[in-house]
Amino acid sequence: MSPESMSLFSPKLAARLDALVLKYPQHRSALVPMLLYAQDEVGYLSDVVIAEVAARIGITELEVRNVASYYSMLRFKPVGKYNVQVCTNISCMLRGGYEVYERFQEELGIGHKGVTADGMFSLEEVECIGACSWAPAIQVNYDFHDKLTPEQVPEILAAYRQANAKAALPSLVSHSDEVKIVSKRFGKGAAKIDKYIELGGYESAKKCLAQGPDWIINEMKASNLRGRGGAGFPAGMKWSFVPKQSDKPKYVLVNGDESEPGTCKDHLIFLHDPHAIIEGTIIAGLAIGAKLGFIYLRGEYRYLLEIMEKAVAEAYAKGFLGKNIFGSGTEFQIITQTGAGAYEVGEESALMESLEGKRGVPRIKPPFPAVVGLYGGPTVINNAETIATVPHVIEMGGAAFATVGTPRNGGTRLFSISGHVEHPGVYELPMGYNLKKMIYEVAGGVRGGRGLKAVIPGGSSTPVLLPDEIDIGMDFDQVGKAGSMLGSAGVVVIDDQTCIVEFALRTISFYQHESCGWCIPCREGTDWLKKSLTRFHAGFGEAKDIDHIQYLAENMLGRTFCPLGDAAAMPILGFVKKFRKEFEDHLNGKTCPFAKHVDLAVV
Amino acid sequence: MADVTFIVDGKKLTAPAGTLLIDACRKAGIEIPAFCYYPGLSLQAACRMCVVRQEKVPKLQTACTTTVAEGQVFVTESEEIAQARKATIELLLGNHPLDCPVCDKGGECELQDMTFKYGAGESLYDEAKNHREEQQWSPAVYFDRPRCILCYRCIRVCGEGMDVWALGVQNRGVKSVIAPNGGDHLDCEQCGMCIDICPVGALTSGSYRYKTRPWEMNHVATVCTHCADGCKVTLGVRQTQDGSEIVRANNRDKSGINDDFLCAKGRFGFDFVESQDRLTKPLVRNSEGKLVEASWEHALRLAASKLKEVCDSKGGSAIGVVGSNRTTNEENYLLQKFARTVLQTNNIDHERTADYAAFAQALAGHSGKAANLRETATAPAILLVGGNPTEEHPLLAWNLRTNVRLNRARLYIANAKAIKLERMSYATLRLPADGYPALAAYMGGSNAILKDTTFREAVLAEDSLLVVFGSEYSGSQVAELVAWGLQLGNVRFAFLGGYANSRGAADMGLLPDFLPGYMPVTAHGAFAEYAGLPAKPGKTLAEMMASAGKGELGALLVVGADPVAKLGATPEALKKTFIIVADIFLTETAALADVVFPAVSLYEKSGTVTNTFGDVQLVCKAADRAGVKPEFEILVRLAGAMGVDVKTLVPFGKGSVTADLGQSRGAQAGEADRHAVWLAANNLEPKLSPFDPLAVLDEIARLVPGYNVDRVNLLSGNDVQTEPGLAPASASAGRGQITPVHDGLFTSGTLSQHSAALQELARHQAAQLVKIRMK
């Protein structure tokens, strides 16, 4: 790039961006991180920032704008010095997110996307930020603050005004039924490599180096470890699909774009056990013959990226990563980066697009990533929890790991429990653990002794379960049989004082916001559902609307380009079918029986 | 790939394995609807309209991404599929403005057609629609965002097709929007392809918007009058007070030599026809020396008597004739026949843009070595020498890009300047500014001008080669390059020149040394049937003007040319010459003329033209206006006024041909139409008018070497290729001046000066350039 004097960025940032471009196999991959770092320094993506970024990458300004405008964290207008982002998504909503948001509005005297006159603060209502079990949560710039009450709002603002604010770290919970495998090092300082090694870390990687790819894949198959992202595809089988011979380099991708509302498990892994992710990535690389792995975190997890970056640097320093890992003569490198605010990038091929510096729009399949993935090379992409579980599978042996769970559902799972329970948190329980027990014993039951109205078993895209449907084992097959999905294991508990129509509206609002817009049914369907439900919840619904909402959702299901359309349609169908009576109670100008956040301004 | 058999809707189909289902079905006559799928552009699978049911697959599949394999079974129409398509349309219409009554696209809109087919007649949507104001992106392109269905065709045709990449998609979800590269405007080649390809009325044409309804126009498919590629253009024609006007030009039926393509000139540069500057009445110089309006009778009688007088008194050598690059083959043929047989002179020439005579001479005796335009989209290896097709031959550039993109053709470029097409090239050779003449020697193994041999080696390693070159070469240089190519064996050539019928002007013998088909004037061959043909080579255009300057040229007949402007002649030099001009505008030459006939443009006449590749195409009359006459008719009337038996010029009337006047026609209307084509194709249609160009076409096909083309195809509106290899080898290479035109995206000789649309685009582009430089 141009000499530093030509850059509009500080010398430090300019140097960082110079290096960033060279880090990747293709320059364009640096685009999203470059935009984030430039925005961090300049405040927003001005025309000149876009021009310089375009020049640095070697693409047109139009291409930069196409990409930048896709990601919700990237902005084209200035914000306050402290940008307050309040999550009101389902888990936060259930625990007072809107009340916190309203308090911020009052205190600051601004609304959504407003900036205070002194330029100190700006305010945004944002989608899920991955702190569901510690709801309600906000971010100020990249700092998290969780378990908030409206009363805390003035002190938080005061702390920022006085420049002595301190970000909160999520709290850990425990219960005697937990089987701690993936979480066994949580809270033990294992983010530091020496501690991680002391706790047995990197032994699995060494073992895998000695045993070779076939052995690793066999162990993985024997473990019955199924993908923790939500689809539950057997990890060993996925790895075995990667062709042994390939003209193009192979890659391992770690999907840490944790964005499904109700899910915050990877958050803790990145925070407490980053080396498990590195070790799992190395093992996946050994299994498929890749020399390069990418760990991709969601953009909101900036502080976790910094923890990951430190851990990766430590691993390089120890010789566990690099040209000659563990002195074996084998090469394996890791690149870490974040997204910039896009749920859709959690879809595997969309993540590859994002990693290639493009809009996070999924790719046509087939070909599947195992054959044609990142940069066109064979690619294994796994959820961060799946990858973090891998070293434990190797350590325990695949068969032993499998026995912890239920048939075809090996091991444990990190359940993010949120909503109206006494003790929300991330609990590691064996696959197949009873849902009712999970709510009433592990999480302490419904908050304040209220009645249970409904449970979302696996993140906001999974169909709702009624109280009489929750006496089931939480594994992929049993939840499927009950008409829902285990998904990302984000269990959201809803009490009997909650309006299901409002809950449905908040759910669809999220998918409307996150639809990439590529295909018609998802782009138009989510927007239409959101508008209809907004009007409906505000008391302007008609009887035919209920059928129309169901018709719309049914006609999105299975028709969209990628699973996001299904993720939006399935929960809505569940709500309409199982709570039709409650929808009818909103008809004929009746106000919401649970009226709390009725927004009369219809879209 | 090997053929596979699969079943669609109960029918057994066969296609190469890996063919897209949608293509295989369309080929078999099974129409699968789609918005985003477009043949030749990258796959999107975004609109979900092409969903079909595949046996044993749980979800509906998109036919645009499903590849066929042995034994598959598909259903493409069923209740379930119709419902899926209907729901998709309902979703689209939910946010669509439904302003069809005022939308340019109404009546030819794919969204309307799909809605008509799949229902979606009831609106389930009560909410406010997402409205945005219409935006003007350039003089040529307007964007109406609410109508956009986001099929991404425009983005792809601009990027993949045009290699311009001026459009993108921005924002996300329902806020997604097509965005131009200039923020609020388009900084591009203004080709308008995005308008043509838009299935709805989201992208509309600056020159057509809100003018009329599609069904209020006649749609006439003819050949573009601008560059020498000869794209088929569909003119939308509407009635006016004094005739009919062209309201729109586009590529409506996509059946032509240009497939999907049309450039800015073809699309927007038709308005010169309606220019205020058009000549609409004959002009005659009065006793005061001023040009005044006159009747056709008077003007014709004056011109005829003067021509006859000069001819009789001074002989044909005192008369000069200048023809046009834009008139039809029939007019050009008639003009040279008139010059040679009536005026008794070989003093005939035109403003030559490329040395077609040298090209024909170089290929004489080598049949099957001339490439047609379509081959440029399929040849596996192409050597492009000189020129800048992106600007000068936009269709050729489109074909080359398409060929590289879809067939991975290897494009070799040898050029003294950097040109845009090099982005698509496999190898590039940068020639010294004066290096063109030496290229043949370099390719033949000499390193005199360039040391680097890799380019040569790569080209020579090809099994076949299409050599495309043009006006950088003339005379013996053409022969040298062709000779180098011919010894390769598997080679074909294309030669690039200037205007819509530059090639036809040369082919039809508007040359002082050659009769039509490059038959030397000294050896008449088949033309011996002309009575009293002069055998002495005539004067070139420059020689005619020089002769006029010396007072030796008694009369000059200029049809559709402007030699005064081109050669910079002074009024004094032409004082002693009686000048007769037929043109559509008062050119510098016409301003000095004694008689001026108001002629018509290529869009107002019938006949044929030959593009620079030698492809002959039918020109169909679209517009008309009172007062003007085609050059063909002007010539016939001029000859008639001179007392010539016009039958000797135009073989009209029944003659010896026994025509079937329809007795054998079938009962069905369709048969009658086919019958008419068959009659015409077989020269059996009686030519009952001396103004019927087809009568001359018969003679051209009969006498001109290489022009005995497939008439059924020609008259059906297809391009048919001539064979320059049939021209006789001649001792004389011919003389005369070549002036290459090097037109840009918005220039087209005199015509663009009278096209407000092209002028505006040129101004817009210039302003953009200034902005970019200021940045």
Q: Is B494 on the interface with A (CB under 8 A)?
A: no
Find the domain containing B648 and state its range. Answer: 283-353+502-656+686-708
> Does one domain contain both B343 and B371?
no
Say yes or no: B452 and B547 in one domain: no
Predicted confidence (pLDDT) at residue A6 exceeds the cutoff of 90: no
CA distances from A554 to A91, A152, A245, A502, B135 (A): 26, 43, 43, 20, 36
The CATH number assigned to the domain holding B167 equals: 3.30.70.20
- B594 φ/ψ angles, rounded to the nearest 5 degrees: -95, -30
Who among B60, B127, B173 is closest to A513 (CB)? Answer: B173
What average pLDDT does this structure show over A434-461?
97
On whether the CB atoms of residues A507 and A94 are closer than 8 A, the answer is no
Average pLDDT estimate for B55-73: 96
Nearest one of A465, A440, A445, A468 to A454, comparing CA atoms: A465
Signed CA dihedral, A130, A131, A136, A140: sign only: negative
Give mean pLDDT, residues B584-588: 97
Q: What is the 3-state secondary structure (H, E, C) of A59-98?
A: CCHHHHHHHHCCCCCCCCCCCCCEEEEEECCHHHHHCCHH
Report the residue from B65, B124, B176 with minimal CB separation from A517.
B176
Q: What are phi and psi of B16, to 5 degrees?
A: -60, 140
Question: What would the mean pLDDT of B295-323 be, rounded to a whole number?
Answer: 97
Alpha carbon dihedral B280, B284, B285, B291, in 10-degree steps, equals -10
Q: State residue B663's pLDDT score.
A: 47
Whether the per-residue pLDDT at B369 is higher than 80: the answer is yes
Higher-pLDDT residue of B479, B772: B479
Please give the average per-residue pLDDT across A508-534, as a whole number: 97
Mean local confidence (pLDDT), B120-129 = 82
Q: Tell me which residue in A60, A521, A548 faces B48 most closely, judged by beta carbons.
A: A521
Q: Are both B612 and B533 inside the same structural domain?
A: yes
Q: Is B51 on the interface with A (CB under 8 A)?
A: yes
Name which of A417-431, B122-136, B171-185 the model is least confident about: B122-136
Q: B603-649 pLDDT, tens per residue?
A: 999 999 999 999 999 999 999 999 999 999 999 999 999 999 999 99
B174 close to A (CB below 8 A): yes
Q: Is the pLDDT of residue B668 over 50?
A: no
Asked if residues A183 and A425 have their Cβ atoms less than 8 Å apart, the reply is no
Residue of B nearest to A525 (CA): B91
Claim to verify: residue B691 and residue B559 sit in the same structural domain: yes
> Are B523 and B641 found together in one domain?
yes
What local confidence, expressed as pLDDT, does residue A588 receive? 78
Rounded CA-CA distance B340/A419 in Å is 98
Report the amino acid identity of residue A342. Answer: A
**Beta-strand relationship, B465-469 and B491-495:** parallel
- Whether residue B439 is predicted with pLDDT greater than 60 in this model: the reply is yes
Model confidence band, residue A73 (pLDDT cutoffs 50, 70, 90): very high
pLDDT of B127 > 90? The answer is: no
Structure tokens at A274: 């980053």
pLDDT at B242 over 90: no
Dihedral (CA of A355, A356, A358, A360) sign: negative
Which of B83, B145, B174 to mutate: most A Cβ within 10 Å? B174
d(CA A529, CA A556): 11
* Residue of chain A minimizing CA distance to B180: A62
Tell me the mean pLDDT in the region B304-330: 97
Inform me whether the pLDDT recorded for A330 exceeds 60.
yes
* pLDDT bracket for residue B120 (50, 70, 90): confident
Is some CB atom of chain A closer than 8 A to the CB atom of B84?
yes
Residue contacts between A and B (CB atoms, under 8 Å) = 122
- In this structure, the dihedral spanned by the alpha carbons of residues B170, B172, B176 and B181, taken in order and rounded to 10 degrees, is 0
Residues B508 and B637 placed together within one structural domain of the fold: yes
Name the nearest CA neighbour of A289 among A252, A257, A339: A252
B135-136: strand order across its sheet? B135-136, B141-143, B203-205
Cα-Cα-Cα-Cα dihedral sign, residues B221, B222, B225, B228: positive
When pLDDT is averaged across residues B404-420 and rounded to a whole number, the result is 97
Q: Which of the four pLDDT bands, split at 50, 70 and 90, describes residue B667?
A: very low
Q: Using pLDDT thresholds of 50, 70 and 90, give the confidence band for residue B735.
A: confident
Rg (CA), chain B: 28
The pLDDT value recorded for residue B365 is 92
pLDDT, residue A5, reads: 55
Same domain, B460 and B517: no
At residue A82, φ and ψ (nearest 5 deg) are -115, 115
**Residues sharing a CB contact under 8 Å with residue B500, sequence separation 6 or more, in sequence order:** B223, B224, B225, B226, B227, B228, B230, B325, B326, B602, B609, B611
pLDDT digits (tens, 9 = 90+) for A40-55: 999 999 999 999 999 9
Q: Does A88 touch chain B (CB under 8 A)?
A: no
Which pLDDT score, from 0 to 100, does residue B775 have?
61
Q: Which of B205, B234, B267 is the last residue of a domain?
A: B205
pLDDT in tens, A276-286: 999 999 999 99
Of all residues in chain B, the one with the smallest CA distance to A63 is B168
Q: Is B258 within a domain?
A: no
B622 and B515 share a domain? Answer: yes
What confidence tier does A603 reach under pLDDT thresholds 50, 70, 90?
very low
**Which whole-number Å values give the CA distances from A228 to A186, A297, A349, in the listed order?**
18, 15, 17
User: A353: which DSSP letter?
Assistant: H
Is B133 part of any domain? yes
Of A142-151, A283-292, B90-99, which range is least confident? B90-99
The pLDDT confidence band at residue B494, using thresholds 50, 70 and 90, is: very high
Rounded mean pLDDT of A503-530?
Answer: 97
Measured between CB atoms, which of A523, A602, A603 is closest to B173? A523
Residue B493 has pLDDT above 70, yes or no: yes
Q: How many domains does chain B have?
A: 4
DSSP B288-299: TS-EEE--HHHH
CB-based contact, B61 to chain A, within 8 Å: no
Task: Judge: B87–A521 Cβ closer than 8 Å, yes or no.
Answer: yes
Whether residue A396 is predicted with pLDDT greater than 60 in this model: the reply is: yes
Which amino acid type is present at position B620?
C
- Tell me whether residue B345 is in a domain: yes
Nearest by CB to residue B48, choosing from A526, A559, A602, is A559
pLDDT band at B688 (very low <50, low <70, confident <90, very high): confident
Residue in B78, B28, B25, B83 with CA at minimum distance from that of residue B55 = B78
pLDDT tier, B123 (very low <50, low <70, confident <90, very high otherwise): confident
Per-residue pLDDT for B374 more than 80?
yes
Query: Is B224 within a domain?
Result: no
What is the per-residue pLDDT across B550-578, written as a single tens digit (0 to 9) for each?
Answer: 999 999 999 999 999 999 888 999 999 99
The answer to whether the CB of B90 falls within 8 A of the CB of B67 is: no
Residue B244 falls inside a structural domain: no
Predicted confidence at residue B531, as pLDDT, reads 79
User: Cα(A321)–Cα(A313) distance, rounded to whole angstroms?
Assistant: 9
State both tokens at B595.
């008689």
- Predicted confidence at residue A413, as pLDDT, reads 98
In this model, does residue B329 exceed pLDDT 90?
yes
Pair B486, B516 in one domain: no
A190-215 residue pLDDT tens: 999 999 999 999 999 999 999 999 99
CATH number at residue B21: 3.10.20.740
Instruction: Say yes or no: A509 contacts chain B, CB-CB below 8 A.
Output: no
Residue B557 CA neighbour count, 13 Å, CB half: 33
* Residue A591 banded pLDDT, cuts 50, 70, 90: confident
Residue B239 lies in a domain: no
> Rounded CA gap, B307 and B303, in Å?
6
User: B558 has which bridge partners?
Assistant: B322, B581
- Residues B508, B640 share a domain: yes
Whether the predicted pLDDT of A258 surpasses 60: yes
Predicted confidence at residue B371, as pLDDT, reads: 97
Clarify whether residues B510 and B408 are in a common domain. no
Quick one: DSSP state of residue A589?
T
The SS3 of residue B411 is strand
pLDDT at B125: 81
Note whether B371 and B334 are same-domain residues: no
Q: Give a yes or no: residue B16 inside a domain.
A: yes
Quick one: chain A helix, strand, coil %, rounded to 5?
45, 15, 40
Distance between CA B414 and CA B428 in Å, rounded? 6
**Is B59 at the interface with chain A, CB within 8 A?**
yes
CA distance A64 to chain B (A): 10
What tokens were used for B692? 């019927």
Q: Taking CA atoms, what residue in A is nearest to B183? A: A62
Whole-angstrom distance, CA of residue A226 vs CA of residue B417: 60
Average pLDDT over residues B117-137: 87
In a domain, B679, yes or no: no
d(CA A290, CA A380): 9
Q: Give pLDDT tens digits for A398-417.
A: 999 999 999 999 999 999 99
Question: Residue B674 pLDDT more than 90?
Answer: no
As a whole number, the mean pLDDT across chain B is 93
Residue A596: band (very low, low, confident or very high) from pLDDT cuts 50, 70, 90: low
What ranges in B512-600 are assigned the alpha helix state H?
541-549, 563-567, 588-591
At residue A422 the predicted structure's pLDDT band, cuts being 50, 70 and 90, is very high
How confident is the model at residue B524, as a pLDDT?
85
Q: Does A349 touch chain B (CB under 8 A)?
A: no
Q: Tokens 């698509």 identify what position?
A: B424
Comparing B375 with A7, the larger pLDDT belongs to B375
Mean pLDDT for B591-598 is 98
Domain-terminating residue out of B77, B110, B125: B77
CA angle A470, A474, A479 (to 5 degrees): 70
At B290, which CATH number? Answer: 3.40.50.740
From B156, B171, B205, the end of a domain falls on: B205
When pLDDT is averaged across residues B682-698 and rounded to a whole number, the result is: 82
A535/B contact by beta carbon, under 8 A: yes
A561 in reach of chain B (CB within 8 A): yes
